[in-house]
Amino acid sequence: MVEFWSDPNVRHGATAAVFAIVYLGMFLGGLPQLRLDRTGVAVLGAIAMIAVNGWSVEQAAAAIDLPTVVLLFAFMLISAQMRLGGFYAEVTRAVGGWPLPPAALMGALLAVVALLSAVFSNDVVCLAVTPVVVRIACRRGWDPVPWLVAVACASNIGSAATLIGNPQNMLIGSVMGVPFGLYLQAALPPVLLALAGLWGLMVWRMRTAQRCSAETVALGDGSEVEDGPPFDRWQTTKGLLVAAGLLIVFLFTDGPREVAALVAAGVLLLSRRLHSSQVMGLVDWPLLLLFAGLFIVNHGFEDTGLAAQAVAALAARGVTLADPLVLAITGVTLSNLVSNVPAVMLLLPHLSDHTQAVTLALVSTYAGNLLLVGSIANLIVADLARRDGIVIDWRRHAAVGVPATAISLLTWWGWQWGSTVLTL
């Protein structure tokens, strides 16, 4: 394909303009006067990058990190299997049925949601457990909003514990080649501290929590048919065995994670009960397109050399991403400006070791709790709650999300500092 501009400066300028417009769209959630969401902006940006740089389709495809996309797709299938088997909702119902006081029940619920989010997709976990948590809170006469926001925060925090808990961690692990066991060993302690901090925050908040209205209490007496698919013991057992086997492969072998995950997903598709269209219907295709589009957009921008020049200029002034605090502040800021996946894509080319990769994974995930729009999990919880007439606006989310984010980052920094002192 003939290039539109032979002058590299003109081409680089046009490339930078496309990049800026795409990330403006990431910030705004779309583009003014156009019916585009973030995925639409990323795809349109990728098309513009191909045209501006005169790439062939093969050249554009080479910019996509296929292992990351395949790994994400495979885990969407595995998570879909567990949701269709009714596993997430059944576990949440079982925990809600325990005769525990509020503080203990909150701790158990946060632990279960965090654990499920670490192994499966946190977005799918929130999709399944939110209606159940509404009914658990309402049956006991509690205001469900703090419980729902706490669940969203726990799902985000828990997903940071592994390289498969959320899309940005999968991206970091794939691009940086971080060993699964090494990441788990480094991330698990600060994640546990963050969860303990979240639980303490919620226990403190429950002392002055409001009781819910009579209309909301009535929700707890409703049918649970809409809580999700009925529990299927065989499908759940099948999914758990495959997931357990996959974790063993990740921990004790060095083979390509995306291949192992794809094989595991293929095994789950071999079913006489669940039609493949049901499973495929739960795949987040727009998210996969978002990844592909941003890979192409970022590749075009990297080719201009502008990003490398900016990083070098900052390093000359002593501001470097090798400093954990600088990386953390940058990661949190960008994650709340353009969302965590685009933020991670921007920062990854400038990281040099596994320690930085762990830091970026943790802080970019924690950052998702700060604002209601900070993560898809938050939006899923708010949307499902609205269907039951429960409003979670940005203020009510911030009442829990802001201190939860601060606690998570402080516990991370405390663990970082303590680990550094012990090694001296």
Q: What is the pLDDT along the chain (424 residues), one digit of tens a residue?
A: 444 456 777 888 899 999 999 989 988 888 888 888 889 999 999 999 999 998 999 999 999 999 999 999 999 999 888 888 888 888 988 998 888 898 999 999 999 999 999 998 888 888 889 999 998 888 888 889 999 999 999 999 999 999 999 999 999 999 999 999 999 999 999 999 999 999 999 999 887 766 655 455 455 555 444 556 788 888 899 999 999 999 999 999 888 999 999 999 999 888 878 888 888 888 889 989 999 999 999 999 988 888 888 888 888 888 888 899 999 999 999 888 888 888 899 999 999 899 999 999 999 999 999 988 788 888 889 888 888 888 898 889 999 999 999 999 999 999 988 777 666 5
Which of 62, 90, 114 terminates a domain? The answer is: 62
- Give residue for tokens 């830091």: 359
CB 351 within 8 A of CB 301: no
Phi, psi for 211 (deg, rounded to 5): -80, 155
Do 203 and 273 share a domain, yes or no?
yes
Do 362 and 290 share a domain, yes or no?
yes
Which of 62, 93, 108 terminates a domain? The answer is: 62
Do 41 and 182 share a domain, yes or no?
no
Residue 211 DSSP SS3:
strand
Do 53 and 136 share a domain, yes or no?
no
Do 55 and 71 share a domain, yes or no?
no
Do 47 and 126 share a domain, yes or no?
no
Do 14 and 88 share a domain, yes or no?
no
Answer yes or no: pTM beyond 0.85. yes
For residues 203 and 20, give the distance between their C-alpha atoms in angstroms, rounded to a whole number. Answer: 43
Do 109 and 145 share a domain, yes or no?
yes
Please give the residue range of the domain that contains residue 26.
Answer: 1-62
Q: What region, left, alpha or beta, does residue 142 occupy, with left being phi > 0 and alpha being psi -120 to 50 degrees?
A: beta
For residues 199 and 408, give the distance between their C-alpha atoms in angstroms, rounded to a whole number. Answer: 11
DSSP 102-119: HHHHHHHHHHHHHHHHHH
Please list, residue by residue across 338-358, b when 16 or more beta carbons sit within 10 angstroms of its beta carbon and e when fewer do: bbbbbbbbbbbebbeebbbbb
How many structural domains are present in the chain? 2
Do 161 and 35 share a domain, yes or no?
no
Do 12 and 157 share a domain, yes or no?
no
Do 111 and 23 share a domain, yes or no?
no
Do 26 and 68 share a domain, yes or no?
no
- Give residue for tokens 């999709």: 127
Which of 62, 88, 110 terminates a domain? The answer is: 62
